[in-house]
Amino acid sequence: MDSFETFDSPPRDVITKVLFGNKTNLLAVSAWDQTVKFYDADQPNKNRLLYNLDWESTVLDFVFFENDKKMALADLNKNVSLLDVETKNFFTVGLHNGPVRCVRYHEPTNTLITGGWDKKVRVFDLRSSNLKPVVDVDIYGKTYCMDLARNFLVVGDSMKRIYVYDLSSGLTGFANPETKDGVLKFQYRFLKCFPDATGYVLSSIEGRVAWEYFPRFLESESQQYAFKCHRTKTPNDSDVAFPVNCVDFHPKFGTFVTGGADGLLCGWDGISRKRLWKSSKFNGTVASLSFNPAGDKLAIGVSDVFQLNPHQSHSPSLHLKHLKDEFRPRTRH
């Protein structure tokens, strides 16, 4: 049986994101109760809550930067905001014409890159005092998932199109994205870039994950593949597929974890194409998860979801697993 610690003072509504800082064990959690909560994962007891921020709207995504002293937030009310984590002061730095689904920070250009349900990808210069984007590009559908690794930005939209923007020469890279349709058959749910910025993992609502390389790093199509996961068998031996809601890469081993609406976590070695670990089951869907920078902790946000049991309801919960060798790759041949 797996050992998971449970935090006191979790959010009161469905969790939208769980994320450790880039340099510290500061843990932030956003939820549909319009809060962003900050926890100290180094505290030995369950009462790890440092402070709670009440937001004007539901925060859908956020990212730490500048040694975890700053945070950019994207919300349902069309705002892109900048938060000083130490002083707790925040202000709006950009706007969309619809809910802002994703936000990332691009250090070389000191900009925030956002994707919204208005079918826009926008870039906001943090040195500018106005709210106008310095880049404003149209995409085919609503932004459903997005990630950034070094100078590669990857966006997945509601029409199942993937856009790869190479920003190694600056923001001019938004002019000519590489696109790919139908990497997975069903709606995309989550996207995470490889730590070495050579490709990405993409998940869908149909219990499936794709391992994809950026074209310049692809030597053979056989390097790319997709696999089934987070599925159960019915008594008549048919598959029930659950959404794969979240993915994160281990910061040291390069292996990754998936969290599903089946209430399970699975660890994977993408190079050897093997499952490394499977958790015990949570009372609810795994909504979001995050490794800490050292790779010895995994935070998991669990929320109620009606796919599991429409007659049973569970409050959101926040958990911490202390890791040993669960994500260490086995011998690769």
pTM score of the predicted model: 0.94
What is the tally of structural domains in the chain?
1
C-alpha angle 246/252/256, rounded to 5°? 25
Query: Which CATH number goes with the domain that contains 69?
Result: 2.130.10.10
* Residue 308: pLDDT over 60: no
Higher-confidence residue: 161 or 313? 161
pLDDT band for 306, please (50, 70, 90 cuts). Answer: low
> Is residue 302 situated within a structural domain?
yes
Q: What distances in angstroms separate CA 187 from CA 79, 130, 173, 288, one per listed residue?
A: 25, 35, 26, 18
Whether residue 26 lies inside any domain: the answer is: yes
Look at residue 271 and tell me if it is in a domain. yes
Q: Is residue 158 part of a domain?
A: yes
**Count of alpha carbons within 13 angstroms of residue 270, beta-carbon side:** 28
User: What percentage of the chain carries pLDDT values higher than 90?
Assistant: 88
Query: pLDDT value at position 148?
Result: 99
Confidence (pLDDT) at 162: 98
Look at residue 233 in the predicted model and tell me its pLDDT.
86
Residue 63: inside a domain, yes or no? yes
Condensed to tens digits (0 to 9), the pLDDT of residues 1-41 reads 478 999 999 999 999 999 999 999 999 999 999 999 999 99
Give residue-wise pLDDT tens across range 174-197: 999 999 999 999 999 999 999 999
Burial class (CB in 10 A: 0-12, 13-18, 19+), 51: exposed
- pLDDT tens by residue, 271-304: 999 999 999 999 999 999 999 999 999 999 999 7
Measured CA to CA, the distance from residue 34 to residue 31 in angstroms comes to: 6
What tens digit of pLDDT does each residue of 50-89 get? 999 999 999 999 999 999 999 999 999 999 999 999 999 9
In this structure, the number of other CB atoms found within 10 A of the CB of residue 219 comes to 7
Is residue 170 in a domain?
A: yes
How do residues 207-223 score in pLDDT, each as one tens digit?
999 999 999 999 999 99
Q: Is residue 98 part of a domain?
A: no
Q: Provide the domain limits for residue 285.
A: 5-74+153-322
Contacts with 226 (C-beta within 8 Å, 6 or more apart), sequence order: 183, 184, 208, 209, 210, 211
Question: Does 83 fall in a domain?
Answer: no
